[in-house]
Chain A
Amino acid sequence: EVQLVESGGGLIQPGGSLRLSCAASGFTVSHNYMSWVRQAPGKGLEWVSVFYSAGNTFYADSVKGRFTISRDNSKNTLYLQMNSLRAEDTAVYYCAREVTDSGTHYYFDSWGQGTLVTVSS
């Protein structure tokens, strides 16, 4: 059974740093595209970053230069290092697995339960 479990969220002051973890089971993180998606309180979904199986990474403009996605293959875990945090980064952060039906169309088939990050003084 595919399972994703996020951790590492919490209350942090503006300008601070936090590292989120997403522990996967039932599949191999390094063989899949893995994304972080966030949702501000009462708002919609915003894609944050993706780590491709080949090693490429991409970021939303809103976090570029501040956030870094990484993975530890030995722990089958995805990470999101968040620096220079701002109030507008307050959100539930989900990790999600992307799969494809054909090698071209991708979609999020599995999601973690999310971890809440609150940036406030």
Chain B
Amino acid sequence: DIQMTQSPSSLSASVGDRVTITCRTSQSINTYLNWYQQKPGKAPNLLIYVTSNLQSGVPSRFSGSGSGTDFTLSISSLQPEDSATYFCQQSYSIPWTFGQGTNVEIK
């Protein structure tokens, strides 16, 4: 199975800050990497697919990059509504696996 390691596990930042979350995989997955946002008590919501493609309706302050084993999710200017947990997920090979999540808190 492909192991996913996200860092940091949590962060606290101010409104307007640039935030970066990293996802590292145990083997190369090309660009088969997706990002989800989950708010408490809600289902995950797709943010970015295939490393860097913004899902329809997702604000442009979100962006993704990377390839191989190292990927990043960036929020260019953090907003109060971005307080959530973010998960990366590989779709290179079954079983699909997720990172452990990064909890983003607003200071």
B residues in contact with A109, CB < 8 Å:
46, 49, 55
> Can you report 29 A-B residue pairs in the complex whose CB atoms are below 8 A from each other?
A37-B44, A44-B87, A44-B101, A45-B44, A45-B87, A45-B89, A46-B98, A47-B97, A47-B98, A50-B94, A61-B95, A101-B49, A101-B50, A101-B53, A105-B32, A105-B91, A106-B91, A107-B46, A107-B91, A108-B34, A108-B36, A108-B46, A109-B46, A109-B55, A111-B43, A111-B44, A111-B45, A113-B42, A113-B43
A residues in contact with B45, CB < 8 Å:
111
Which residues of B5-23 are within 8 A (CB) of A?
none
B65 touches A (CB below 8 Å): no
Q: Is the CB of B99 within 8 A of A44?
A: yes
Q: Is the CB of B87 within 8 A of A107?
A: no
Q: Which secondary structure dominates chain B's binding surface? A: loop
Q: Is the CB of B34 within 8 A of A45?
A: no
B100 touches A (CB below 8 Å): yes
- CA A111 to CA B91, docked complex, whole Å: 16
Contact among A46, A50, A107, A111 with B50 in the assembled complex (CB-CB below 8 Å): A107
Which residues of A100-121 are within 8 A (CB) of B?
101, 105-109, 111-114
